[in-house]
Amino acid sequence: MLVSYKWLQEYVDLTGITAKELAEKITKSGIEVENVEILNKGVKGVVIGHVLEREQHPNADKLSKCLVDIGEGEPVQIICGAPNVAKGQKVAVAKVGAVLPGNFKIKKAKLRGEESNGMICSLQELGIESKFVAKEYADGIFVFPSDVPVGADALALLNLDDEVLELGLTPNRADCLSMIGVAYEVAAILGREVKLPSVELEETNESVHDYISVKVEATEDNPLYAARIVKNVKIGPSPLWMQTRLMAAGIRPHNNVVDITNYILLEYGQPLHAFDYDRLGSKEILVRRAKAGEKIVTLDDVERTLTENHLVITNGTEPVALAGVMGGANSEVQNDTTTVLIESAYFTSATIRKASKDHGLRSEASTRFEKGIDPARTKEALDRAAALMAEYAGGEIVSGVAEVNTLKQEEIVVTITIDRINSVLGTAITKEEVANILTNLQFAFTEDNGTFTITVPSRRRDISIPEDIIEEVARLYGYDNLPTTLPVAESQPGKLTPYQAKRRKVRRYLEDAGLFQAITYSLTSEEKATQFALETAEPIRLAMPMSEERSVLRQSLIPHLLEVVSYNRARQIENVAVYETGAVYLAKGNDELPEEKERLAGAITGVWHAHLWQGEKKAVDFYVVKGILDGLFHMLGLENRIEYKQAKREHMHPGRTAEVLLDGRVIGFVGQLHPSFQKENDLKETYVFELALTDLLNAEVEEIRYSTIPRFPSMTRDIALVVDKDVIAGDIQKTIIEAGGELLKEVSIFDVYEGDRLPEGKKSIAFSLRYFDPERTLTDEEVTAVHEKVIQAVEQQFGATLRG
Amino acid sequence: MKEQLQQLQQEALEKIAQASDLKTLNDVRVAYLGKKGPITEVLRGMGKLSPEERPMIGALANEVREAIQSALEEKQAKLEQEEIEKKLASEAIDVTLPGRPVRLGNHHPLTRVIEEIEDLFIGMGYTIAEGPEVEKDYYNFEALNLPKGHPARDMQDSFYITEEILLRTHTSPVQARTMEKHKGRGPVKIICPGKVYRRDNDDATHSHQFTQIEGLVVDENIRMSDLKGTLQAFAKKIFGEDREIRFRPSFFPFTEPSVEVDVSCFNCGGHGCNVCKGTGWIEILGAGMVHPNVLEMAGFDSKKYTGFAFGMGPERIAMLKYGIDDIRHFYQNDLRFLQQFNRA
Ligand SMILES: [Zn+2]
């Protein structure tokens, strides 16, 4: 809402308060003033001039040579390029020495050989936006009414010495979508009076009922419809002050009748519509729901097809307006209109919202209906509009109002105690202070022993419960005066849940292992949604996605991590190691929420470790990533419950991928991307992993229990086994552990060899076995006995031979 | 004989002083103190002396032996020290060459901000509540006093999946769910961090996915002044001890009264600058007293219980705190961006 400071003064005395100060006060008490616009954009020296003579410029087709009286001595010669300049006009003249917006200084000049002593200005040249300039002056200079005095300050006449406050209204404060509403708010803040416009009607002897009858079928949507007839109007421009106020409020002037309806909309917040009575085609107004497929051509010359959800004003048979949104072209007020039907109605917000949404039409009127208007002012606004049409369009007001009123006006009464106010706010406000605030708000109330009973005025539709009154008191009392305390209730210690604490440790671990945390989008494309997913479900698609790229919820984190890798590689960052923790979304039933499972995923590519001057350089390989995961499982106390199994998965390298099992159940995978996938996506050798974080963190783990530090020495035996190439180390290790029994405490692999020194198809793996007993020192014989068993077992199971 | 001994001492000491390595020194030792050495020789000849002279010469011989012995030891220590120093000098390295790098990653800046805020509130007795990102319309809107058709639903255009299911537009549904679980009994004291989604085109200041942290306290006797004190503590912790906050009245369907909360500008201290657009204040939070409808819908008696709630955007806080100019940075994960948030 744009509020003219000068116009507002008609309703509230603003003496002693500048527009800027007022804006600050309004903001502090609840409505944000987003901007205070000074309309005079540095303009100086522009006066009213009288065009005494106009003739064609001798050397230029498109220029006029004018003799203009500017109220200072001799008339001056001005060259003007506007097509509409004419003898006898009163126009705005920027004198020599004047300044126009953008610090444009007017100097004496010669244009095509003719002297020009100033400039005749269009409204745009004075800083008014084109879209607010009346159409007839849009491409030329503005012509003032003939009665303005020559030499007068043109800026003052155009109200450009005004300032405009732009209010950012929250949806609850629809009451401030009108000058009067704003006046009440300002009066409450300043503790001053509100002066309402006086409405005096002079009516003819005729009765409105001889002209029109009103019927409302859809009373649910339209509980109040009122109409007046004004006859013998003369369409012409509205008074200059009205035009300038409309422009300041962001509305383009049209003609006196339309301008008056808009003026009342701004003043009362009540949208009005003016019909050309003679074009209605009947003596009847019928408000009803449209029929499916019914059509109307609206004022913007667009044919619109209606449904039964839309409310229309008809002449009994045909629609003449889309109620509350836009009038019909067939009944539009035109230059030859003489009799006007003014409609002032209360349409419910749901109806208007639907129509305005369906037709993509948002107007000053529809916005107000959508947010809710004050029906108590509907008829007063109608009367005021009729009075203005009598005054400024020469009309005569036909006696009476044609109306249908099924409105059930329920008074809202709210009761609240001073104690409740203070206990909710934490304040010590007195009864007197509260009473004073309510008085300034012009709320009717009684007070009995600290209990306030308040009758809420109909303009404040946002107030209905005690808490609303608390807010009114708080904002006008001033939040700066609110004390600063902390809750006094006994406080329990706060802490992370075990899951949350572990998740933080997982993140920290991976970062300390060299990975950066990434956060990527949950929405992805249909194609990527199920890529790499540990488990898949029906894709969950948005009903109305903004793009195909972001249309489906992801089931794996890897695709977006690979986008991160690509994004960085495109910026010459070849070595990337990132991880993410986040939800994937797995559909369940149709009307059920999906299952959200937290995953941990990573993507690593490029050089893993480089320390070049000492000759170290290591690219990422499978075992780098596996090592990171091993550390993770160790940290979570799961190292003995995890297994890796060679696996084939889509888009993964068939020989370099393992599934990760926890207690025998697959909870993730790790491996290299399939070379062809890498190629398609312009990636180098890249390793990824994804794990079911929820399962990892929820796995029950025993509490830490101290065990005695061994006091007896251990004994280590190494063996190098030659086996067939396809025998895997994990299997041999398992066998060793089983055969080694109690005494074998540790098995590690310290060498793997394949090559010339072994027969074709063979490899050797060297294990180091550590034996010990916490209770005593082992003898050589004991260890040898166990060790022999181990060797026997691997010989039997894998045909292994000891490498000499 | 006396002269002989003194002569020997002098000779020995001179040779010791001249010895430049341990081997020469050892030769000196053997030459003078060995069993066949000159001192032993002298002592052997003592038999020729008178009984009065014997003890005198014996004492002198011992004195000479001791003097040589101690000179030898001293010289030995010195030579050993020199040898060690020589060896160490040959082992010197260039300490300015680079060390073997330890590879380190770090938190995403949003996690950094979120954890800092979480920890602050945990310290004030809050727990962290989490909930689904794909939510029922009921918890996202209706339970928060936003019935279907409420005009404020326009304020947050949402991603719907079905009529009743959508991507949550704020983390408030977690508050509604948590209150419901409490079955009408306080206190509730939670922080709800998480991802949220709105129909916005991604640009420098908008993101269709972003994060939010909301807080909720419901108990008997919770006052709006408690909200002010709590947020004051928050502002000081996150933006610096000198920060002040101010409330400006506002509107949210789920709180009444509702306020926007500004923090005094950390950049200029409140005098006005670019960061605060000359106002000295920066809008950082929305907050208010929990609307009685919200309490009642979650099963709390709004006559007995009151509560406050607040919400903030970690992106905005991170942008202000670190001077980040474009919200898209958070989701592009450019390593040159991520690496900047590495300090402890
Ligand atoms: Zn500042």
Contacts of A294 (CB under 8 A, 6+ apart): A305, A306, A312, A319
User: What distance in Å separates residue A448's CA from the closest CA in chain B?
Assistant: 21
Dist CA A273 CA A264 (whole Å) = 10
Give the distance from residue B334's alpha carbon to the nearest chain A alpha carbon, in angstroms. Answer: 6
Q: Is A725 exposed, middle or buried (0-12, 13-18, 19+ CB in 10 A)?
A: exposed
Q: Domain ranges in chain A?
A: 2-39+163-190, 44-157, 203-405, 414-480, 498-698, 715-802
Strand partners of residue A439: none
pLDDT at A694: 95
If you average pLDDT over every residue of chain A, what do you get?
A: 93
Query: For residue A683, what are its two tokens?
Result: 């990636």
Distance from the CA of A27 to the center of ligand 1, in angstroms?
Answer: 19
Higher pLDDT, A762 or B62: A762
Confidence of residue A81 (pLDDT cuts 50, 70, 90): confident
A294 marked as binding residue: no
CATH dotted code for A44-157? 2.40.50.140
**Cα–Cα distance list, A740 to A732, A782, A799 (Å):** 12, 12, 18
CA A485 to ligand 1 centroid distance, Å = 27
Residues paired with A746 in a beta bridge: A770
For residue A168, what are the β-bridge partners?
A: A32
Residue in B with minimal Cα distance to A507: B107
In degrees and rounded to multiples of 5, residue B109 shows phi and psi of -55, -30
Fold match between domain A2-39+163-190 and domain A414-480: yes
Q: Please give the model's pTM, rounded to 2 decimal places.
A: 0.84
Q: Which residues are CB-contacts of A138 (< 8 A; sequence separation ≥ 6)?
A: A130
Which helix (H) or strand (E) is A586 found in, with range? strand A576-586
> In sequence order, which residues have a C-beta less than 8 Å from that of residue A472 and are 6 or more positions away?
A437, A438, A441, A443, A463
Average pLDDT of chain B, as a whole number:
90
Residues A624-658 as b/e (b if ≥16 CB within 10 A, e otherwise) read: bbbebbeebbeebebeeebbbeebebebbbeebbb
Q: Does B100 touch chain A (CB under 8 A)?
A: yes
Q: Which residue of B has its CA nearest to A28?
A: B248
Q: Is residue A577 very low, low, confident or very high in pLDDT (cuts 50, 70, 90)?
A: very high
- Cβ atoms within 10 A of the Cβ of B2, count? 12
Distance from CA of B107 to the nearest CA of A (A): 5
Please tell me chain A's helix, strand, coil percentages from 3-state DSSP, rounded to the nearest 5.
Answer: 30, 30, 40
- DSSP collapsed to 3 states, B93-105: CCCCCCCCCCCCC
Which residues in B155-171 are b (16+ Cβ under 10 Å) and which e?
ebebbebeeebbbbbbb
Q: From CA A265, how far away is CA A275, in angstroms rounded? A: 16
One-letter amino acid at A602 equals G
Give the 3-state secondary structure of residue A365.
helix
Q: Which of B105, B133, B259 lies closest to A596 in CB terms? A: B133
For residue A352, which of A364, A336, A341 has the smallest C-alpha distance?
Answer: A364
User: How many Cα neighbours within 13 Å face the side chain of A704?
Assistant: 5
Cβ atoms < 10 Å from Cβ of B249: 24
Q: For the structural domain made of A2-39+163-190, what CATH number should be given?
A: 3.30.56.10
* Topology given in CATH for the domain delimited by A498-698: BirA Bifunctional Protein; domain 2 (3.30.930)
Of A583, A566, A563, A562, the residue nearest A574 (C-alpha): A566
> If contacts are CB pairs under 8 Å, which of residues 107-146 in chain B contact chain A?
107-108, 110-111, 115, 118, 121-128, 130, 132-136
Q: Are A431 and A445 in contact (CB under 8 A)?
A: no
Query: Distance from B15 to chain A by nearest Cα, in Å?
Result: 49
Q: Where does the pLDDT of residue B151 fall: very low under 50, low under 70, confident under 90, or very high at 90 and above?
A: low
Q: What is the pLDDT of residues A384-400, one digit of tens each?
A: 999 999 999 999 999 99
How many angstroms separate the alpha carbon of residue A51 from the centre of ligand 1?
A: 52
Rounded to the nearest whole angstrom, what is the distance from the C-alpha of residue A103 to the centroid of ligand 1? Answer: 29
Task: pLDDT band for A43, please (50, 70, 90 cuts).
Answer: confident
| pLDDT surpasses 80 at A130 | yes
Helices then strands, each counted (H, E), chain A: 20, 43
Q: For chains A and B, count residue pairs whose Cβ atoms are closer than 8 Å.
A: 245
Inter-chain contact A482–B228, Cβ cutoff 8 Å?
yes
Phi, psi (rounded to 5 degrees) for A549: -55, -30
- The residues spanned by each domain of chain B are 2-90, 109-341
Taking the C-alpha atoms of residue B285 and residue A554, their distance in angstroms, rounded to an integer, is 31
Ligand 1: centre distance to CA B313 (Å): 19
**Closest by Cβ to B152, choosing from A171, A424, A467:** A171
Query: Is 90 exceeded by the pLDDT of residue A275?
Result: yes
The Cβ of residue A353 has, within 10 Å, a number of other Cβ atoms equal to 20
Rounded to the nearest angstrom, the gap between the alpha carbon of residue B241 and the centroid of all alpha carbons in its chain is 19
* CATH homologous superfamily, domain A203-405: Phenylalanyl-trna Synthetase, Chain B, domain 3 (3.50.40.10)
Phi, psi of A370 (to 5 degrees): -60, -40
Question: Which residues 591-620 of A have a C-beta within 8 angstroms of B?
Answer: 591, 593-594, 596, 608-611, 613-614, 616
Are the beta carbons of B125 and A492 separated by less than 8 Å?
yes
pLDDT tens digit string along A279-318?
998 999 999 999 999 999 999 899 999 999 999 999 999 9
Pairing assessment for the beta strands A44-56 and A64-69 based on DSSP bridges: antiparallel
Residue of A nearest to B132 (CA): A596
Tokens (6 digits) for B306:
């009151």
Q: Give the mutation candidate from A24, A463, A486, A497 for the B interface (greatest B CB count, under 10 A).
A: A486
Q: From the CA of B131, how many Å to the nearest CA of chain A?
A: 9
Closest Cβ opposite residue A467 in set B201, B247, B292: B292
Q: What distance in Å separates the CA atoms of residue A352 and residue A174, rounded to the nearest whole number?
A: 15
* Residue A234 burial (CB count, 10 A): 14
Which element (helix H / strand E) includes B88?
helix B53-90
Measured from the Cβ of residue B89, the count of other Cβ atoms closer than 10 Å reads: 8
pLDDT at B272: 87
Please identify, in words, the CATH class of the domain defined by A715-802: alpha beta
| Residue A462 marked as a ligand binder | yes
- 8 Å CB contact of A591 and B256: no
Could you read off the pLDDT of B82-134 as tens digits, one per residue? 989 999 999 999 999 999 999 999 999 999 999 999 999 999 999 999 999 99
pLDDT in tens, A214-267: 999 999 999 999 999 999 999 999 999 999 999 999 999 999 999 999 999 999
Q: Are A42 and A99 in contact (CB under 8 A)?
A: yes
Contact criterion met (CB below 8 Å) for A489 and A481: no
For the segment A366-376, what is each residue's pLDDT rounded down to a tens digit? 999 988 899 99
> Which three-class secondary structure state does DSSP give residue A98?
strand
The two three-digit tokens of residue A6, written as one number = 């000068």
* Beta-bridge partners for A224: A346, A405
- Among A172, A424, A426, the residue with its CB nearest the CB of B251 is A172
Whether A804 has a pLDDT exceeding 80, the answer reads no
Query: How far is it, in rounded angstroms, from Cα A640 to Cα A625?
Result: 18
pLDDT attached to residue B11: 86
- Residue in chain B nearest A515 by alpha carbon: B105
Widest CA span in chain A: 132
Residue B12's Cβ-count burial label (10 Å; 0-12, 13-18, 19+) is buried
Q: Give the Cα separation of A64 and A55 in Å (integer).
A: 6
pLDDT score, position A591: 83
Distance from CA of B115 to the nearest CA of A (A): 9
Q: How large is the average pLDDT for residues B72-83?
A: 90
Residue B155 above 70 pLDDT? no
Collect all residues of chain A within an 8 Å Cβ-Cβ radius of residue B100: 611, 614, 616
- Specify the CATH number of the domain A414-480: 3.30.56.10
Three-state DSSP class for residue B258: strand
Q: How far apart are CA A386 and CA A380, in angstroms?
A: 10
The pLDDT, as a whole number, for residue A33 is 92
Beta bridge mates, B285: B261, B312
All residues of chain A having their beta carbon less than 8 Å from the beta carbon of residue B315 are none
DSSP, res A710: P
Residue A472, annotated as binding a ligand: yes
So what's the architecture of B109-341 in CATH?
2-Layer Sandwich (3.30)
Whether residues A425 and B159 touch (CB distance < 8 A) is answered with no
For A648-661, the pLDDT digits (tens) are 999 999 999 999 99
Percent of all residues in chain B with a pLDDT value above 70, rounded to a whole number: 99
Q: Label residues A659-689 b or e (16+ Cβ within 10 Å = b).
A: bbbbeeebbbbbbbbbeebbeeeebbbbbbb
Residue of A nearest to B261 (CA): A479
Q: Is the pLDDT of residue B43 over 80?
A: no
- Measured distance CA(A649)–CA(A320) in Å, rounded: 66
> What span, in angstroms and rounded, lies between the C-alpha atoms of B209 and B168?
10
| Distance, CA of B272 to chain centre | 32
- Nearest to A276, CA basis, from A331, A207, A344, A318: A331
Residue A490 has pLDDT above 90, yes or no: no
For B189-202, write each residue's pLDDT tens digit: 999 999 999 999 99
List the single residue in A480, A494, A564 with the smallest CB-CB distance to B126: A494
Q: Which 3 state secondary structure label does DSSP give B249?
A: strand
- Name the B residues in 261-290 with CB < 8 Å from any A CB: 289
* A550 three-state secondary structure: helix
Judged against a pLDDT cut of 80, whether residue B150 lies above it is answered with: no
Contacts of B155 in chain A (CB under 8 A): 171
* Residue-wise burial string across B176-212, b where 16 or more C-beta atoms lie within 10 A, e elsewhere: bbbbeeeeeebbbbbbbbbbbbbbbebeeeebbbbbb
Distance of alpha carbon B333 from alpha carbon A765, whole angstroms: 42
Q: What are phi and psi of B261, to 5 degrees?
A: -115, 125
Q: Are A117 and A78 in contact (CB under 8 A)?
A: yes
